[in-house]
Amino acid sequence: MSSQKVLVVGGGPAGCATALTLLKNGIETEVYELGNKYREKACGDCLAADAQQALRSLNVFDKICLQSLVLPTLTFMNQATHFSLQSDLYSLQRSVFDQILRDEVITWGGKVYYGKRIQDISISPTGVVLEDSKGEKANGDCVVLATGASNSLAQKVGFQFTPHDIVAFRLYADNTPKIKSYTVWFDKSLSEGYGWLFPVPGGKLNIGLGFIEKYHAFHATISSLKDSFFKTLREKYNLTGLESMRTLGGLLRTGLRRSSAIKDRVLLVGELVNTTYALTGEGIGKALQSGIIAGEVIAKALPDYSASSLQAYDERIRKDFTSIYDGYNQAASFLSNSLSTSFSMFLFAHSNKLRSRLEAILQERADPRDCLSLSGIAKTLIFPATDYS
């Protein structure tokens, strides 16, 4: 191990990806996790193409697959029509997924501390000091903040954040209908939102609803949106008793952080750099990738952890991520009302070319603007089909 030590605050996907990358580069690493083992998490049970790619690069994909479900199809529905795509999605509860990653950190010689509420952080020219809620301190040379939606520590060292722009909730229910597909609803009653339902291991369903907060007052509308969505589920799948089940939810920032994510001896990863996609709400893949990039940059920079030495992190995030986030931002704007969504659903249901293009987008082999915009739809329908293999 190197004599240098990196402290990672947050034991989710981004924090663990950072830790694993650092450990594989011979750097002593400690992870401080707020929760306990198998802590239930409110989002991210589905692993899309970018998450799978990141997990393969961390050599942990096979371990994840052993406990995951394969979702063979992805179905989109509204009141008038529906269509399905071939899918290579995997599902696994975050409580299990995160624990596999944390156990892998330990396997590689890292330390993971549970039940650690880090409430203070100080940065000096010689190092980093963390202090938890019990007054216990930890010393290191660099700190990576992977605290998800909670940005209080990052604010203490001078980072600023845009408001949340997506509200989501989800719950687990018994998969009594034996559903195998990932299904997404664009229902008029949900306005600029959408609902989803997909199976997860253990005979359960992940059921949820997300909508764009800037178009709604969250607390004033969430109850009516949930009631409408639950009505749809009762009528279509005979799912009952949803109202009494425990609901988990959260506020998210989407679209990629555009200001710097570094300071002397500090890097932000995961949700702190807005890794959630607008429109789809998927963010695990890019959270993992941000952690991998952070670990690689730190390994190359040590023992100099100045902002100028860590600048490569900002540069790589912008270079690798900006285009696809811009694409999803524009796609979300295009589909921000029920009229454009219904129009697109009709076209996709009747066009093999559009469905093929959408499959390529979801597998990150094409730009979201290629068919989730008026110009993209027109070009796809007019010009010869493109081979995305």
Q: Which two tokens stand for residue 71?
A: 């979702």
Q: How far is CA 209 from CA 167, 260, 273, 285, 333, in A?
A: 8, 31, 23, 20, 18
Whole-angstrom distance, CA of residue 89 vs CA of residue 353: 21
Sign of the CA dihedral running 79, 85, 90, 94: negative
Instruction: Determine the pLDDT at residue 214.
Output: 56
Q: Please count the other Cβ atoms lying within 10 Å of the Cβ belonging to residue 36.
A: 9
Instruction: Determine the pLDDT at residue 334.
Output: 87
Instruction: Determine the pLDDT at residue 41.
Output: 80
Contact predicate 224/217, CB 8 Å: no
Instruction: Determine the pLDDT at residue 3.
Output: 82
Residues 6 or more apart from 343 whose CB is under 8 A from it? none
Domains of the chain: 5-71+87-161+254-330 (3.50.50.60), 166-252 (3.30.70), 351-382 (no CATH)
- Coil/strand/helix, residue 237: helix
Whole-angstrom distance, CA of residue 252 vs CA of residue 39: 19
In the predicted model, residues of the chain with pLDDT beneath 70 are 1-2, 42, 188-192, 212-222, 385-389
Q: Please count the other Cβ atoms lying within 10 Å of the Cβ belonging to residue 162.
A: 12
The string of DSSP codes covering 304-325 is --SHHHHHHHHHHHHHHHHHHH
Contact predicate 121/152, CB 8 Å: no
Instruction: Determine the pLDDT at residue 387.
Output: 59
- Chain centroid to CA 282: how far? 5
Instruction: Determine the pLDDT at residue 11.
Output: 97
Residue with tokens 């997404």: 184
Q: Which two tokens stand for residue 325?
A: 């986030």
Instruction: Determine the pLDDT at residue 212.
Output: 67
